[in-house]
Amino acid sequence: MKKEIHPTVVDATVTCACGRVLHTKSTVAEMRVGICSECHPFFTGKQKFVDTAGRVERFKRRYNMS
């Protein structure tokens, strides 16, 4: 391996918008993220479904279809 071409790995602190703090290793010492596994809807089971009902009816009404 060539010397002096690899980045240095340091202890990193990852802070989520919800307030959770994670400690890991990275080339960047501090990171801020918007969502983590504690607050992500997929992992928490609190998924919000977008209401798409009415799209077909709106299309039919727009083009005068029955």
Grade residue 54 by pLDDT with cuts at 50, 70 and 90: confident
Residue 52's pLDDT is 63
Partner residues linked to 15 by β-bridges: 21, 32
- How are beta strands 30-33 and 21-26 bridged, if at all? unpaired
Average pLDDT over residues 24-40: 90
End-to-end CA distance of the chain: give it in Å, rounded.
71
Residue 30's pLDDT is 96
Grade residue 11 by pLDDT with cuts at 50, 70 and 90: very high
| Integer Cα distance of 50 and 56 in angstroms | 15
What is the set of domains in the chain, with CATH numbers? 1-48 (4.10.80.400)
Residue 56's pLDDT is 76
What one-character DSSP code corresponds to residue 62? H
Closest CA to 13 of 4, 3, 23, 5: 23
- 46: pLDDT strictly greater than 60: yes
